[in-house]
Structure 1
Amino acid sequence: MTKNKSVIKSGGSLLVDCLSANQAKHIFIVPGESFLGALDAFLDRKDEIKIVNARHEAGASNMAEAYGKLTGEPGLAYVTRGPGACHASVGVHIAFQDSTPMILMVGDVSRNVRDREAFQEVDFKSFFGPISKWVAKINDPDRVPEYMNRAFSLATSGRPGPVVLVTPEDMLTQITKAKAPSFSPIIKSEMSSIGFNAVTEKLEKSKKPLFIIGGSGWTNESISSFHKFINENNIPVTTSFRRQDLFDHKDENFVGSFGTSVSPKLISSVASSDLIIVLGARLGEMTTQGYSIISPLDKSKNMIHIHVDPNELNKVYNAEVCINVGMEECCKRLKDLRIENSRSWQEWRSQLRRNYLEDIKSLKSRNFNNLSRIFEIVEKKLPDNSIVTLDAGNNAAWPQRFLSYGRYRRQIATTCGSMGYAIPAAVSSSLLSPEKTVLCCVGDGGFMMSSQEISTAVHYGTKIIILLINNSSYGTIRMHQERDYPGRKIATDLKNPDFVKLCKAMGAIAYRVNGLAEFSSIFSRALKSKKVNVIEIPISINQLSHRHNLK
């Protein structure tokens, strides 16, 4: 009898076995009746795979996406059909644009009622197809291992991204004798001699080289190898939008990051450079400020583009040299490369570094709760070994500009500008690394889109600090209104609740600060706390962005 139980099992039990075989440790869910067969099977693996109950499917998918960013392994989420899947689609979209490995499993209507517009029925292939690497429905429980292994492989290979697996309710309870093997990771090719020689030759002829690094697929080893190569050769390094933790900001070769409201001097450095080496980044719209910093139409710019996915090469930019190789394989080859004329780049690098250091100095301002000064305090007090999660909007510009990052201090943020991301990402980060301080930076607009996940944070005993920047406005949209339609404000003012009372009601410690001295004291107190702390920082709408005041 015992022997048969170990062989004959349900499709849901086999699915959970497959997750276990692929080293799953966490899964983020909002439970639904459409996948009860899988939920029941998780009970038998509760000491091995931790289930995290989110309060909203968007929160669950965002937690899974952040988990994928932090680990490089697929973040896992499971939600119910129809509304649940629609809510979770935001995390899938983020994972797609951010190249994050992720697997979303969706409970579905039973197979015998498909195509009748059954309760909460959705055509998931049409719905998720444009924002995922693969969408598949598992109709046969015997094929669960095949689909699961393909999902893990696809999510992590090439340009990483999200996979969606649809599990009909009745398939999860159907009996199967299939077993649960793990997928075999793909052995990647080394950087070719042709590509390596092309990089070497271009660098040897360059007088002002500049690296732009970004994308996903980086490991501690590849980052260490890249640092060694850069430090040997005095080459200035920048990062693409919200990939600031790929290079140590305290390293003398780091000269800034691209994205929103970039330093004008950093933009001019691109024009001055005679060789742009793009490593891992796609050079998307945000990094290039609408493809203006580097124009796809400008064929005069000398460029090398290195990317793990051949489909990203010659997609927008026709670089003179295109190299298809992974970050680890590329950096391993570059690590010991020494360019003979690299000393001649020191002056060029030093000037860009001076520009960067000048740009991150706190700003003199009469604004109440001057955010540049507040983040100067945060920078001094925040432990190096911490994780910072950022939301969308202008509120994120201050921690992007005035905090330092690197592999020692991770930055977890979305490049697709999805509001409501930072709090779920902080919950996931703290669950994964409970020994670290997790700092969440969010505006009042984004806060109200996912504040319910504070209850999740409290439920699981996480230690996170939330800096709630409150200007009672959708500030980014207000900024665009003032730029394009001056004086014609509409639909951007917000009437907010009492955030302190709201957060305390969910079990968090909450404060509202009135000045820099009070913030400094409260932030120190929050750093010592073992609970969820929310610090509301009221600011004037006049403090519209880190480079522009409204008045």
Structure 2
Amino acid sequence: MTEQSAGHLIVRSLEAHGVERVFTVPGESYLDVLDGLYDSDVQNVVCRQEGGVTYMAEAYGKLTGRPGVAMVTRGPGASNAFVGVHLAWQDSTPLVLFVGLVPVAHREREAFQEFDPHQWFGTQAKRVMVLDDPDRASEYVAQAFFAARSGRPGPVVVGLPEDVITRLTEAPVVAPIPVTDGAVGAEDLEDLRAALEGASRPAILVGGPRWTPAAAEQVTAFAERHGIPVVSDWRAADRVPGTSPVNAGETGYGRSRGTVDVLENADVLLVIGGTLSDIPTDGFTVRQDPAAVNWLVNIDPSLRQHSGAVTRQVLASPVAFGRALAQLELGAHPDWSAWLEAPVAARRKRFEIPATAGNNVAGTADMELVMKALIPHLPADTAVVYGSGNHTAWANTYLPTGPFPSQLSVRNGTMGYSVPGAVSVSLQQPERFVLSVSGDGEFLMNSQELATARQYGAHPLILVVDNGQYGTIRAHQENHYPGRVSGTQLSNPDFATVARGYGAFGARLERNEDIESVLAEAVRAVTEDRIPAVVHVVADPAKLLPGM
């Protein structure tokens, strides 16, 4: 056996798992791993803040279905990285976070930057592991990747004491551990066929993890063959394309009444990939009848987050279930056309940009006109990335949803994701058009990752919707404390100037007359010059949502 340090063995193990890149902020606590990356085929994407590190790794996990890999140092580095761990936990995204730790002999002495990873991450990670034996370094990598991918995916944290990773070992590289997709039995399929054929108002809810483009196509094809309305969970609108004749809308915030009616009134509901969690059920109030017929296809045996009745659970991922649906044909059943057409028509009407668009105050550009002008520039497979806030409604309402995966957002409500998430997607798929929609508050949380984009060649188009406030919280204030604006107003820089300082394209939009020309320039910068582009849209602060 070749003798090498445990830190170098970790890097060799990442190579064996097919890791293309890791996202890092360097630290002296894991120098030996950084040294192992020096002559490795694994690209080290050095970020500007640890929150950006885990956001980029999480976006990689969402996009590929493989664990995104993040590396940060102990103490402050780990605390900054926590935001992305919480995101991966609630969004069921495979992620492996390596954290440098104090030397073993320094433990429990309040050494410089010491913390307990089990205490910090124990409630928000599938596993927390600390490497104390250099001979087990590769085993820990294999176990971490398996835990991150298996069942309901999520984050795994691996602690690396700085003295342990420098010790030599002759241990071999441990091969990746295969992950099961579950299975769909013949009895499951026959009983599901009977349930659907006997239904007057069947519906499908899609969401959750473990999807692939093939699985999304198979589920869509089944629903279209039989005219079954499909509603998507929040931030899962890309499982069924927006153009599909069975797409009945998204069940997240700002949903239409027709979409909620489908979820509430279906006499047989087939849930694929996800659960009836708090958001689609409007705080555990929709579809809570204990007599409701709910078939749940979910690879997580615990059905974490689910509320309401469970008629049957099929322990399978969308991949295994999609293959089974491709072979399933229904026989005679009631006429479902009226049940399907109403919510689909309502959803399509909601996506229409109103004729009143453009009636905005002086010195601002209307976001509805921005969306209308932008859509013709977007290829069919555009990846749209956004975090949280009222600004996301412009993308969620008007932008067409392409093939999976094309919507990368956050179910846990975290802000600051839009820039690092878009950078990660652009790095992974450099020929793809990547659009990020950010609010003014969210953009400033991680806009420094534009430097990372320029350094490594990412080139997303970033729209910054500047209404001078934390708009979502302002809306809540108006509902609960009308006329008492407190703690939500912002004074912003010129984001176009900021972008140019990073070497990106930057333009400011404050007139409707300039929308077409500015967007054309920004698209050209992204597609021809292949640099990031930031369009600073000065928006009417009174128009917090589409249609207002």
- Which residue, 364, 370, 376 being the options, matches 1:374? 370
1:87 is matched with: 80
The answer (yes or no) to whether the contact 2:150–2:180 under 8 Å persists in 1 is no
Asked if 1:18 corresponds to 2:13, the answer is yes
**2:339 paired residue among 324, 338, 348:** 348
1:74 paired residue among 58, 67, 72: 67
Task: Give 2:411's match in structure 1, choosing from 382, 405, 415.
Answer: 415
Shift of 1:306: 1.6
Match for residue 33 of structure 2? 38
| Alignment-derived partner of residue 156 in structure 1 | 149
Farther-moved stretch of structure 1 (322-331 vs 119-128)? 322-331
- The answer (yes or no) to whether the contact 2:94–2:148 under 8 Å persists in 1 is yes
CA 1:462–1:476 in 2, change beyond 3 Å: closer, same or farther?
Answer: same
Q: Is the 8 A contact 2:198 2:333 kept in 1?
A: no
Aligned-partner SS, 2:173: coil
Q: Could you give the per-residue CA deviations for residues 7-43 of structure 1, whole angstroms, max 9, x where no partner exists?
A: 0101111110111111111100000000001101100
Matched ranges for 1:299-448 at <5 A: 299-312=290-303, 315-341=306-332, 344-363=335-354, 364-365=356-357, 366-367=359-360, 368-407=364-403, 410-448=406-444
Deviation at 1:409, TM superposition (A): 6.5
1:315 CA drift (Å): 4.6
> Aligned to 1:490, which of 469, 486, 504?
486
CA distance in 1, matches of 2:436, 2:90: 21
**Does the CA-based 8 Å contact 2:23-2:69 persist in structure 1?**
yes
State the Cα deviation string for residues 310-350 of structure 1 (Å, max 9, x = none). 10179522222222211111111111212223571123212
Q: TM-score, normalised by structure 1?
A: 0.95
1:271-312 alpha-carbon deviations (Å, 9 max, x no partner): 3322222111122222222123333xx223322222110101
Are 2:514 and 1:521 aligned? no
Q: Output the amino acid matched with 1:64.
A: A
Work out the CA distance in 1 between the residues paired with 2:402 and 2:200. Answer: 27
1:391 and 1:150 map into 2 onto residues whose CA distance is 30
Q: Distance in 1 between matches of 2:209 and 2:182?
A: 18
Runs of at least 4 residues of structure 1 off by over 4 A? none
1:205-216 to 2 correspondences below 5 Å: 205-216=198-209
| AA of the residue aligned to 1:536 | H
Find the counterpart in structure 2 of residue 544 from structure 1: 544
Other structure's SS at 1:195 match: helix
Q: Report the alpha carbon displacement of residue 386 of structure 1 after superposing the two structures with TM.
A: 1.8
On the 8 A contact 1:34/1:108 being kept in 2, the answer is: yes
Q: Distance in 2 between matches of 1:189 and 1:74?
A: 19
Partner Cα separation in structure 2 for residue 398 and residue 289 of structure 1: 21
Instruction: State the alpha-carbon separation in 2 of the partners of residues 314 and 151 from structure 1.
Output: 23
1:7 aligns with 2:2: yes
**Matched-pair contact (CA < 8 Å) for 1:396–1:441:** yes
Matched, 1:108 2:101: yes
Q: Is the 8 A contact 1:11 1:144 kept in 2?
A: yes
The question of whether the paired residues in 1 share the 8 Å contact of 2:182 and 2:299 is answered with no
2:8–2:36 contact (8 Å) kept in structure 1: yes
Structure 1 residue 351 displacement after superposition: 2.0
Distance 2:328 2:128 in 1: 42
Secondary structure, in 3 states, of the residue corresponding to 1:238? Answer: strand
Distance 1:477 1:187, change over 3 A: closer
Q: Provide the residue aligned with 2:167 in structure 1.
A: 174
Q: Residue 408 and residue 102 in structure 1: after superposition, are their counterparts in 2 closer, same or farther (change >3 A)?
A: closer
Q: Percent identity?
A: 34
Other-structure match for 1:259: 252
Question: Which position in structure 1 is the counterpart of 2:211?
Answer: 218
Contact 2:278/2:305 (<8 A) preserved:
no
Cα RMSD (Å): 1.5
Are 2:189 and 2:328, in contact at CA under 8 Å, matched by a contact in 1?
no
In 1, Cα distance between the equivalents of 2:323 and 2:460?
36
Are the counterparts in 2 of residues 388 and 409 from structure 1 also a CA contact under 8 Å? no
Give the superposition deviation at 1:205. Answer: 1.1
1:533 corresponding residue in structure 2: 533
SS at match of 2:32: helix
Deviation at 1:510, TM superposition (A): 0.5
Structure 2 partner of 1:192: 185
Query: 2:505 corresponds to which residue?
Result: 509
Whole-Å Cα distance in 2 between the matches of residues 478 and 187 of structure 1?
Answer: 45
| Separation in structure 1 between the aligned mates of residue 424 and residue 450 of structure 2, nearest angstrom | 12
Does the residue aligned with 1:288 lie in a helix, a strand or coil? Answer: coil
- Residue 116 (structure 2) pairs with residue 120 (structure 1): no
TM-score, with length taken from structure 2: 0.95
Q: Tell me if structure 2 keeps the 8 A contact 1:211–1:238.
A: yes
Equivalent residue in structure 1 for 2:158, among 158, 162, 165? 165
User: Which range moved further: 512-521 or 6-15?
Assistant: 512-521
Unaligned runs of 5+ in 1: 1-5
Matched, 1:476 2:467: no
1:34 maps to amino acid? S
In structure 1, how many angstroms separate the alpha carbons of the residues matched to 2:226 and 2:458? 42
2:510 is paired with a residue of what secondary structure? coil
Secondary structure of 2:51's match? helix
Deviations 1:228-283 (A, max 9, x none): 21121111111100011111111111111111111122222333322222111122
Give the match for residue 263 of structure 2: 270
